[in-house]
């Protein structure tokens, strides 16, 4: 019985170690609201000139609307190991760069 509990305990430790949550801040420096889609997490609408705190797991996808319409969902970025804790992401600037990439 002790072996079973020990095995379950180790399993929980290693299972929790796989998913890494990274806290970050989404900053909208523009004068327009920015709707985003974060599947399984939330669909935030970033207010103009605002900050929004969020913790996302490595591998989480974040989408935006490339032409401002709800039917134009495009991938903005995928959270990976290069994201540092408590980074402030300039979402309005990232979107502008991503729109240029999508045009090419």
State pLDDT tens for residues 6-35: 343 444 444 445 568 999 999 999 999 999
CA 76 to chain centre: 9
Cβ atoms of residues 60 and 79 within 8 Å: yes
Torsion of CA 76, 40, 51, 35, to 10 degrees: 60
Strands (E) located in 29-91: 34-37, 45-46, 50-57, 61-65, 73-78, 87-90
CATH match for 21-103 among 3.30.1490, 1.10.1060, 2.160.20, 2.60.40: 2.60.40
Cβ atoms of residues 44 and 52 within 8 Å: yes
Quote the pLDDT of residue 19: 61
Taking 50 as the threshold, does the pLDDT of residue 5 lie above it?
A: no
Annotated domain spans of the chain: 21-103
Query: What pTM value is reported for the model?
Result: 0.78
State pLDDT tens for residues 32-84: 999 999 999 889 999 999 999 999 999 999 999 987 767 789 999 999 999 99
DSSP state of 33: -
Quote the pLDDT of residue 67: 79
**Rounded Cα gap, residues 52 and 49, in angstroms:** 10
């Amino acid at each position: 019985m002790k072996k079973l509990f020990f095995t379950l305990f180790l399993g929980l430790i290693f299972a929790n170690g796989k998913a890494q949550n990274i806290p970050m801040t989404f900053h909208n420096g523009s004068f327009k609201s920015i709707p985003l889609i974060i599947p399984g997490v939330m669909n935030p609408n970033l207010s103009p000139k605002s900050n929004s705190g969020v913790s996302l797991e490595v591998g989480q996808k974040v989408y935006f609307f490339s032409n401002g319409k709800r039917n134009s969902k495009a991938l903005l970025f995928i959270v990976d190991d290069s994201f540092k804790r408590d980074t402030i992401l300039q979402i309005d600037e990232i979107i502008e760069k991503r729109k240029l990439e999508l045009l090419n």
